[in-house]
């Protein structure tokens, strides 16, 4: 494994001067991953991203960027994302951002070695009724085994009554929209969309800052403690969009491709050849998620595969690709208010 994987957990400076803020130097920010053991997880984050994982554990999620009471991203020098924003809300998030307002995006790597539960995230109006949080997300398939599949939405024409009957008869697999996927594909999962990730997928998930998930079915599986995992059937039935039939993935095309354009965040994929530039204007924060290749700043600092770098709002950032590079760019997430 190349030595540059060791940079994944470092807080790396990118010196860029802003003419509007003389002598003010901002940095792009990398955080230490927060690893989560899951019954469906594995060790692919070590194999594919060169991560040093906790021994003997099935790691299903790596929380790369999170600002929640129960989970805080931390830089190599020990500062939390909450502390960074509170100390300089305008510099990190842009004008008018409250120092108390959490960072609105949660970024995860998912290693899905077994199929996840059939689940749904509540739409905003339902979330408030149930005491949860709305959650809209996007899955980018970074790596997929030949048999990898996803579930999203229902088969055409399935009614709620059909779903409830199949739930009682343990035949839900016949009603959901399951399809094969390949690396480079992407799919938007708005709140209310029934979904599950199949085994064999390595996914970069960009999501609304929420941790509310309702499981409606878990394929008869036991959890890490050997007991059946909790289901949330009533909440799920209130949350599922029963008019959501057979959504499709976005296939990879071109060197710049829009993947998501929603009120919550925008997401695009950028491909650069060696020596080509990637520029990000000042004014609002941006997240760069590197899938492959390498991006280098003017001072020599680099963003490497697996990194999720936060670019503060205060100034412009410029990078050039040192090799063929593919990255995702998350933007326009500061205006949304839940």
Residue 89 lies in a domain: yes
**pLDDT value at position 24?**
57
Predicted pLDDT of residue 25: 63
Residue 267 lies in a domain: no
pLDDT at 263: 94
CATH no. for residue 59? 2.60.120.10
Is 150 domain-assigned?
Answer: yes
Residue 203: give the domain boundaries.
36-239
Rounded to whole angstroms, how far apart are CA atoms 170 and 143? 31
235 within 8 A of 215, measured Cβ to Cβ? no
The count of structural domains within the chain is 1
Q: Is residue 220 part of a domain?
A: yes
Q: What is the pLDDT of residue 1?
A: 38
On whether residue 258 sits in a domain, the answer given is no
Tokens 């409250």 correspond to 98
What does the pLDDT read at residue 22? 39
Q: What is the pLDDT of residue 336?
A: 65
**324 domain residue, yes or no:** no
Q: Answer whether residue 6 is part of any domain.
A: no
Closest CA to 59 of 112, 20, 130, 97: 112
Q: Which residues pair with 231 in a beta bridge?
A: none
DSSP 228: B
For residue 114, is it within any domain?
yes
Residues 313 and 173: their CA atoms lie apart, in Å, by 45
* Whether the model pTM is above 0.95: no
What average pLDDT values come out for the chain (338 residues) when binned by 10 residues? Answer: 35 36 69 97 95 96 98 97 97 96 98 97 96 97 98 98 96 97 98 98 98 94 89 98 98 95 97 97 97 93 97 95 98 80
């Amino acid at each position: 494994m190349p030595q540059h994987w060791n940079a994944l957990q470092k807080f790396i400076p990118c010196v860029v001067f802003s003419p509007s803020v003389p002598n003010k130097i901002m940095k792009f920010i990398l955080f230490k991953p927060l690893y989560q053991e899951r019954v469906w997880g594995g060790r692919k984050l070590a194999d594919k991203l060169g991560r040093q994982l906790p021994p003997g554990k099935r790691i299903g999620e790596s929380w790369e960027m999170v600002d929640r009471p129960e989970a805080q991203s931390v830089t190599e020098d020990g500062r939390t994302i909450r502390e960074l924003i509170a100390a300089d809300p305008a510099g990190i998030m842009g004008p008018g951002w409250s120092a108390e307002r959490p960072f609105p995006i949660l970024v995860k790597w998912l290693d899905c070695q077994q199929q996840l539960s059939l689940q749904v995230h509540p739409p905003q109006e339902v979330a408030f009724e149930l005491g949860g949080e709305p959650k809209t997300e996007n899955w980018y398939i970074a790596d997929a085994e030949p048999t990898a599949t996803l579930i999203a939405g229902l088969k055409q024409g399935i009614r709620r009554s059909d779903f409830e009957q199949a739930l009682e008869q343990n035949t839900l697999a016949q009603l959901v929209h399951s399809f094969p996927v390949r690396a480079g594909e992407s799919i938007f999962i708005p709140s209310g969309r029934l979904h599950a990730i199949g085994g064999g997928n390595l996914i970069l998930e960009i999501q609304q800052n929420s941790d509310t998930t309702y499981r409606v079915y878990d394929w008869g599986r036991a959890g890490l403690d050997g007991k059946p995992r909790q289901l949330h059937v009533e909440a799920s039935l209130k949350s599922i969009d029963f008019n959501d039939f057979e959504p499709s993935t976005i296939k990879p095309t071109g060197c710049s491709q829009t993947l998501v354009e929603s009120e919550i965040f925008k997401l695009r994929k950028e491909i650069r050849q060696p020596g080509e530039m990637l520029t990000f204007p000042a004014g609002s924060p941006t997240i760069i998620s590197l899938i492959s290749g390498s991006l280098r700043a003017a001072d020599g600092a680099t963003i490497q595969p697996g990194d999720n770098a936060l670019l503060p709002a205060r100034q412009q950032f410029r990078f050039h690709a040192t090799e063929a590079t593919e990255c995702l760019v998350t933007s326009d997430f500061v205006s949304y208010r839940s």
